[in-house]
Structure 1
Amino acid sequence: MEFENPVIISNDLEKRIAEAFSMFDHIGNKTVDVREVGTILRFLGCTPTEQDINEIISATEFEDTRGTIHLSRFLPHVCHLLTERKMEPASPEKLLEAFKVLDPDGKGFLTKEFMSKIMMEEGEPFTQEELDEMMAIAVDAQTGNISYEYYLNQLMCKTKESIYELTTN
């Protein structure tokens, strides 16, 4: 299917979104399956809820090609959301604060079992695959617990430049 609207990339934010989108464009026609939207957003460093993902799909999916999204609609919509700082991850300080709430005794760690239960049953639940990926990094092999300050430091060291830093340019 040909689309009349060419995709014009005019800044670094748009370039980064388009590059992430193209990684999931398996046919090379500037379209992705709607099931890839959440993956693309997370790849960009966003933290969308399922509701956010569904709203983006509703706003960008073409009526005549249900199940696919074209870059010409996805790019401006996601740029707008990012400029408004939607789906932005929590700061390290906020994450530490949240961990401390889960650790009222101030031990400095959470058990793997407790954290697994929280991640699977509270708020926006993790999938088993997401939980396994998190635990592979979070759990201390010697104690079997999650030393949350150490875990947060690991996360911060692995973080590349935030997509949100490009919204100020």
Structure 2
Amino acid sequence: MARKEEPKIQPNNDLEKKIIEAFEVFDHSGKQVVDVREIGTILRSLGCCPTEAEIQEVILATENKEATGNVPLVNFLPYMCKVMIEHRFYPASAEMLLAAFRYFDPEARGFLTKERFTQLMMEEGEPFTQEEFEEMMQTALNPVTDTITYEYYINQLMVAPKEVYNLADSMEEERRRTEAAAPKKRRASSLLRAAQY
């Protein structure tokens, strides 16, 4: 007997809509499921900057327990809403990035050579994959000077939208306003006491 297809998840707000849209780009079967190997790309497309360990954390929390290797939207959506509201995986600020670049530019030239940048990105800290590195170099590298003028590069990075985090902030603010406006529930005993006096 064929399994009944699950109804399509409908977004309740703009944050959920953005998360669903990012997820659906990688849902090649149209069954609201993605391969676990796509989770890092989905997170980055949402404006998140997770480490590999954090990507694994998301996979562990959202992976289908019966059919490992897949992440269903029904697990991913509530988890990611919570992540966004908590501002986890939030990108570094321009000030933090500038300080990092300046640290690696002790001569204060305002740029890093292609070779030095490659070494830092591929060998220091959490290394990039070759594909990630090549994609980054398309934006970072000045093809005329063969250097990375880091203030220009940081400005390019800051153009990237943090829209999803802004939506999460708006959604959380609305939830707080709604809770504050709701009448406080009182215990029956306190209501009876108040009625007696």
TM-score tier (shorter): over 0.9
* Correspondences of 1:31-70 after superposition (within 5 Å): 31-70=33-72
Can you give the 5+ residue segments of structure 2 that lack an aligned partner in the other structure?
Answer: 171-197
TM-score, structure 1 length as denominator?
Answer: 0.93
* Correspondences of 1:3-42 after superposition (within 5 Å): 7-42=9-44
83, 86, 89: which one pairs with 1:87? 89
Against the structure 1 CA distance between its residues 2 and 149, is the aligned structure 2 distance closer, same or farther, given a 3 Å change threshold?
Answer: farther
Deviations 1:70-110 (A, max 9, x none): 10110000111111100011011111111111111111111
Query: Does the residue aligned with 1:65 lie in a helix, a strand or coil?
Result: coil
Query: Does the residue aligned with 1:32 lie in a helix, a strand or coil?
Result: strand
Deviation at 1:3, TM superposition (A): 6.9
Distance 1:56 1:73 in 2: 10
Distance 2:121 2:30 in 1: 36
Query: Does the residue aligned with 1:63 lie in a helix, a strand or coil?
Result: coil
Identity value in percent: 52
TM-score, structure 2 length as denominator?
Answer: 0.80
Does the 8 Å contact 1:5/1:72 carry over to 2? no
Query: Does the residue aligned with 2:58 lie in a helix, a strand or coil?
Result: helix
Q: Give the corresponding residue for 1:167.
A: 168
Q: Give the corresponding residue for 1:75.
A: 77
Can you give the 5+ residue segments of structure 1 that lack an aligned partner in the other structure?
Answer: none
Distance 2:25 2:168 in 1: 21
Distance 1:120 1:112 in 2: 12
Against the structure 1 CA distance between its residues 9 and 142, is the aligned structure 2 distance closer, same or farther, given a 3 Å change threshold?
Answer: same
Query: Does the residue aligned with 1:64 lie in a helix, a strand or coil?
Result: coil
Does the 8 Å contact 2:84/2:165 carry over to 1? yes
Distance 1:62 1:150 in 2: 42
Distance 1:6 1:134 in 2: 35
Deviation at 1:4, TM superposition (A): 6.1
Distance 2:8 2:132 in 1: 36
Does the 8 Å contact 2:47/2:162 carry over to 1? no
Does the 8 Å contact 2:15/2:81 carry over to 1? yes
Distance 2:140 2:158 in 1: 13
Does the 8 Å contact 2:19/2:46 carry over to 1? yes
Deviations 1:4-36 (A, max 9, x none): 686342111111000100111101111111111
Deviation at 1:162, TM superposition (A): 2.6
Does the 8 Å contact 1:109/1:146 carry over to 2? yes
Considering only CA atoms, is the larger Rg found in Structure 1 or Structure 2?
A: 2
